[in-house]
Homo-oligomer: A and B are copies of this chain.
Amino acid sequence: MVKIGIIGAGRIGKVHTESITRYVKGAEVKAIADPFINEETKAWAKSLGIAEVYDDYKKILEDKEISIVLICSSTDTHSKISLEAIAAGKHIFCEKPIDHDVNKIKEVMDALKGSNVKYQVGFNRRFDHNFRAAREAVKAGKIGELNVLKITSRDPAPPPVSYIKVSGGIFLDMTIHDFDMVRFMSGAEVEEVYAVGGVLVDKAIGEAGDIDTAIITMKLSNGALAVIDNCRRASYGYDQRVEAFGSLGQVAIENDTDSTAVVSCAEGVIAEKPKHFFLERYMQAYADEITSFIDAVLKDKEVEVNVIDGLKPVLIGLAAKLSIAENRPVKVAEIAAEFGL
């Protein structure tokens, strides 16, 4: 029975903890740590049979019984705790992004070299049943050679402006998942990025120095073209779709809904809105990514989303940021070169 420690008892830390408890055989959560742990969380941990609840995550790193840690703390702590956990010889599942600062990601990459540590990044959409089915269709050659990849990604409502301010901007906070999807769906690298954007949802987002709506065009290493459109607000819920078009056809995925019920009445033929937000849409994907990670650890296999997969979307995001700032296409290599990559 492999023992797991959870660092960070916020929303996503709890999601992973419950997933492991429910779905992952041969693994148990032994400890959870959070500097702001409260009584409610303690009771919740107890109800799940978790032995230890700490406010200091270092106790988890010191526990010899624990071989796997999940880093679910705030983004600015990811790389630091990653380094410490690598030093402690723990296998690591780290929530995305590893960091907004490429140099800090490089430190993690360097620390991993020569270690036996498994390191997986939390790009959960790769485990979503819909994205996965689309990827499998592409991989199986059902659309032939990929020509055009289109991703729509819209949140139901923007986060608080206080969050926007520390988010790293829309490209590193929100589009980063879509950049990962471009790489996942295409099996290719993004070479050049051009982005346009606007403040169409909330002026306060603009005043915070960010945009809330964007279209990002990309040239890929396999010659295909890709485009993402983002918005921080979709009145009808979380809109997460992809279309992959190629020489033999197209595969497209639609949103999930709570049910298939359709009401026909004088007002029209009315289906349900998409599932509201990421927790509803991706609950099973969160369970599946953790299951996959623990399986990789137990069977000593390659993780499905590695540290390079954590790095690349950050580089693309920085390219998109520069593209907006200077209104020009930016090569990802230009960004990489800045960091000696």
In the complex, whether A297 has a CB less than 8 A from a CB of chain B is no
1/0 per residue A256-278: CB within 8 Å of B?
Answer: 10111111111111111100000
Q: In the assembled complex, how far is the CB of residue A251 from the closest CB belonging to chain B, in whole angstroms?
A: 5
Measured between beta carbons, the chain B residues less than 8 angstroms from A256 are: 260
| A229 and B150 contacting across the interface, CB-CB below 8 Å | yes
In the complex, whether A201 has a CB less than 8 A from a CB of chain B is yes
CA distance A197 to B134 in the complex (A): 24
Q: Which of B217, B252, B259, B267 makes the CB contact (< 8 A) with A196?
A: B217
CA distance A142 to B263 in the complex (A): 8
Which residues of A221-257 are within 8 A (CB) of B? 223-225, 227, 229, 231, 233-236, 239, 243, 245, 247-256
Measured between beta carbons, the chain B residues less than 8 angstroms from A115 are: none
Whether A236 contacts B262 in the complex (CB less than 8 A), given A217-B196, A223-B200, comes out as: no
CA distance A229 to B134 in the complex (A): 19
Whether A249 contacts B266 in the complex (CB less than 8 A), given A129-B259, A261-B133, comes out as: yes
Task: Please tell me the size bucket of the interface on A.
Answer: 35 or more
Q: Which of A147, A243, A253 has the most CB of B within 10 A?
A: A147
Measured between beta carbons, the chain B residues less than 8 angstroms from A235 are: 144, 247-249, 264-266
In the complex, whether A3 has a CB less than 8 A from a CB of chain B is no
In the complex, whether A328 has a CB less than 8 A from a CB of chain B is yes
CA distance A297 to B197 in the complex (A): 43
Q: In the assembled complex, how far is the CB of residue A141 from the closest CB belonging to chain B, in whole angstroms?
A: 11
Measured between beta carbons, the chain B residues less than 8 angstroms from A23 are: 22
In the complex, whether A7 has a CB less than 8 A from a CB of chain B is no
| B223 and A198 contacting across the interface, CB-CB below 8 Å | yes
| A263 and B234 contacting across the interface, CB-CB below 8 Å | no
Smallest Cβ-Cβ distance to A229: which chain B residue: B148
Measured between beta carbons, the chain B residues less than 8 angstroms from A145 are: 200
Measured between beta carbons, the chain B residues less than 8 angstroms from A72 are: none
Closest A-B pairs by Cβ, 10 of them:
A249-B265, A133-B259, A133-B261, A236-B264, A254-B260, A22-B22, A269-B271, A268-B270, A250-B264, A147-B200
Where the two chains meet, the residues of A that have a C-beta atom closer than 8 Å to any C-beta of B are 22-23, 25, 47, 129-130, 132-134, 137, 142-145, 147-148, 150, 152, 154, 194, 196-198, 200-201, 213-215, 217, 219, 223-225, 227, 229, 231, 233-236, 239, 243, 245, 247-256, 258-273, 327-329
Give me 29 A-to-B residue pairs in the complex whose CB atoms sit less than 8 angstroms apart, sorted by A's number: A22-B23, A25-B47, A133-B272, A137-B263, A144-B235, A147-B201, A147-B231, A148-B213, A150-B150, A194-B196, A194-B217, A196-B329, A198-B224, A200-B224, A200-B247, A201-B247, A227-B229, A234-B249, A234-B250, A236-B265, A236-B268, A239-B264, A249-B266, A250-B263, A251-B262, A253-B259, A264-B273, A268-B271, A269-B272
